Amino acid sequence: MVTEDQVRTWVEGYLKAWTSGSKRDIAALFTPQAEYHEWPYETDWIGRDAIVEGWQSRTPWQEGGWAFDWSLLTLNGDTAAIEGTGRYKELGTFANLWTVTFDNNARCTMFRMWNNEI
């Protein structure tokens, strides 16, 4: 079972990795066989290497600055539901709903995001 503290630490790591774009920071969040799915963009990155490559392809999204606010909605065993709002100077504002499933070491095995521009 994942704890609130583990989720908080993971999201902080996510934000650090999104900021740095570092392969090491991104890879630290996910298991080798992790999956990353994002709707409505039909993003399906399977495996940690694909996730790192996909994240690094989105570095231009951050131009001009960005911010992300989030809250934990619920925990259910090894899965957390997270609500977030991303504000990108160049892209606009997006409401996010994430479900993140963790392994025993609090690394993500399955990431699902519903991403809606508001």
Q: Domain limits of the chain?
A: 4-117
Query: CB–CB of 98/116 below 8 Å?
Result: no
CATH top class, domain 4-117: alpha beta
Read off the pLDDT of residues 4-61 as tens digits, 9 standing for 90 and up: 999 999 999 999 999 899 999 999 999 999 999 999 888 999 999 999 999 998 888 7
What pLDDT does 41 receive? 81
Give the three-class secondary structure for 6. helix
- The pLDDT of 73-100, averaged and rounded, is 95
What pLDDT does 61 receive? 76
What pLDDT does 40 receive? 86
Q: Is the pLDDT of residue 63 over 80?
A: no
Would you give the distance in Å from CA 40 to the centre of its chain?
Answer: 15
